[in-house]
Amino acid sequence: MKIRKGFVSNSSSSSFVCDVSGTALAGYDGEYEEGTCSAECGHEFLEEYLLPPTEKTRDLSLEGKRKDLLELFSHDKIKTKLIKHADSNLIDELFDDNDEEISELYNEDNNEVPKSRCPLCQFTEINKGDLAAYLMKKYVGDKDIEPILKEIKEKFGDYSSFHKYLK
């Protein structure tokens, strides 16, 4: 039997890679020296990239309620179709029945950052991997990449020179 005296920690190391800059951080138990954000869309980024909150006020008109219900049920095609064609009585009933969930749409005090504050979702920043994939699709597509590889080899000679150029 092994007996330990003094402080014993069960903390584990963790890492974080910013989806915007690619900056990697190391820490313990998800704690890092720099602030990090996790958005509801799944993107993770440094706090410095967090967009300011947008002032969102509830529109209690029929169309405002319809819009909130469509956002709330955006994952359910049947309900969204019903809401698009519902009369005012049904909209009012659905709105009242889902008031608590609709209030959450306007509450930014939860732990996840809304898409409206994500720099990637709002296209104020772009992930370099996504940019490369877009450029490949747009300019290369299904073309033969052999001529491109030949050009790179002639221009740089070796991979380390090519890699230096890219940085």
- pLDDT mean for each 10 residues of the chain (167 residues): 46 86 86 87 93 81 92 91 94 92 71 85 94 90 86 93 89
Measure the CA–CA gap between 91 and 65, rounded to whole angstroms: 7
pLDDT at 27: 82
pTM, two decimals, is 0.56
Measure the CA–CA gap between 6 and 75, rounded to whole angstroms: 52
Bridge partners (DSSP) of residue 37 are 45
pLDDT at 111: 60
pLDDT at 6: 47
Here the tokens at position 111 are 């732990």
What's the maximum distance between 2 C-alpha atoms anywhere in the chain?
72
Q: What are the backbone dihedrals phi and psi of residue 15, each rounded to the nearest 5 degrees, phi first?
A: -135, 160
Nearest to 114 by CA among 122, 125, 126, 102: 122
Measure the CA–CA gap between 37 and 53, rounded to whole angstroms: 14
Q: How many helices (H) and strands (E) does the chain have?
A: 7, 4
Strands (E), 36-127: 36-38, 44-46
Which DSSP state fits 114?
P
pLDDT at 108: 57
Here the tokens at position 161 are 């020179």
Measure the CA–CA gap between 18 and 38, rounded to whole angstroms: 10
Q: Is 37 exposed, middle or buried (0-12, 13-18, 19+ CB in 10 A)?
A: buried
Q: Is 159 exposed, middle or buried (0-12, 13-18, 19+ CB in 10 A)?
A: exposed
